[in-house]
Amino acid sequence: MARFEYLEAHTVRQALSMYRRHAPNVRYVAGSTDFLIRSRMGNWNPEYVVNIQHIPALQRTSFSRRNGLRLGALTTVQTLQDHESVQTHYPALAAAAASFAGVQVRNLATVGGNICNASPAGDTLPALLAFNAQCLSTGPEQGEQRSTALDEFFTGPGRTVLEPGELLTEIRLPRPEPNTGSLYIKHSPRGAMDIATVGVASAVTLAADRRTCKDVRIGLGAVAPTPIRAYAAEGILRGNEITPESLAACAEEARNTASPIDDVRGSAVYRKEIVGVLTLRTLERAVEMARDGTMAFETQRRLAVQAAF
Ligand SMILES: Cc1cc2nc3c(=O)[nH]c(=O)nc-3n(C[C@H](O)[C@H](O)[C@H](O)COP(=O)(O)OP(=O)(O)OC[C@H]3O[C@@H](n4cnc5c(N)ncnc54)[C@H](O)[C@@H]3O)c2cc1C
């Protein structure tokens, strides 16, 4: 691991000014769970490391029925798993957090780090896409805040729209709609401590008749260069009656949307098949939840990780 100068910021302003002073070879770190691996492998060799973990403004998490969920970028994955409002109103996100690594990593890893690392297989990302997340960030020059839909945030594997030195500060999820259910399922060769071979999150909102799909959003992970929304599949279900046939057609379209690669975790053909299976499974469960109220979190946690063997 190459040597670097370590700096600690206690406000957003301080972090941005540290970046400006030492640019360009500076890297922010939050939980450092990606940073340690990448720097030990020699992939990341910054001259300066700015630790943002002690910035209180980035640690706040709040929920209101009017404004929805606001997650400071430093919200840990363990907090996402345990947060009552996340479990109740955004269950796919709590399930994604429960499927994530082991407890030690979950306590360090942050949602902001998961987003900025921009891995196609990042576990929180399909669920955040399914909830229409918005990312607030602040650039180092003007200190101006901008908001980017998560859907437009990723530009390639490991790449985002963030400019050099720009800090992700907050993630906003719109308020939950009534009659909504959601679930994330991660498929991986092992049941624990592995990244996703495929991850699918579906959120379904039913109309007042409880038979028509008012809205649906499907996020797919590990099956394209970035996490993606399955828009064409959503279009098949939105506004139409929910039947076994319409759910199956939607899942089939999600399967067609995926453009995975072959790697050690699974072939492209296999991954596409799994997208179809998991989309159908998450949709069916989400519809059940939307009709019957929330599913017990323990059940969701059990469903969230589906090992191949
Ligand atoms: C053993 C192990 C198991 C893992 N298992 C999983 C898993 O199951 N699922 C999964 O998705 N990931 C997994 N990961 C990857 C990692 O834990 C996650 O990507 C995590 O969310 C990263 O968060 P962090 O705070 O540790 O990021 P860091 O390592 O601190 O930073 C990651 C990157 O994001 C940038 N960054 C961080 N925060 C900000 C910010 N606010 N603004 C701008 N840039 C920022 C950093 O500069 C860096 O480039 C695992 C990692 C390990 C070591």
The domains of the chain are located at 5-51, 61-173, 180-302
Is 153's C-beta closer than 6 angstroms to any atom of ligand 1? no
Ligand 1 close to Cβ of residue 30 (< 6 A): yes
Q: What is the pLDDT of residue 295?
A: 63
- DSSP-assigned letter for residue 110: B
CB of 32 within 6 A of ligand 1: the answer is yes
How much distance in Å is there from the Cα of 33 to the middle of ligand 1? 5
Ligand 1 pocket residue status of 113, Cβ below 6 Å: yes
CATH architecture of the domain covering 180-302? 2-Layer Sandwich (3.30)
> Are residues 180 and 285 in contact, defined by beta-carbon separation less than 8 angstroms?
no
Q: Which helix (H) or strand (E) holds 138?
A: strand 134-138
Q: What is 5-51's CATH number, 2.60.120, 3.30.43, 3.40.140, 1.10.3470?
A: 3.30.43
Distance CA 232, CA 282 (A): 17
In the chain the first and final C-alpha atoms are separated, in Å, by 36
Element (H, E) at 112: helix 111-117
The answer to whether the pTM exceeds 0.85 is yes
CATH number of 61-173: 3.30.465.10
Query: What pLDDT shows up at residue 191?
Result: 63
Q: Which residue numbers in the chain have pLDDT < 50?
A: 308-309
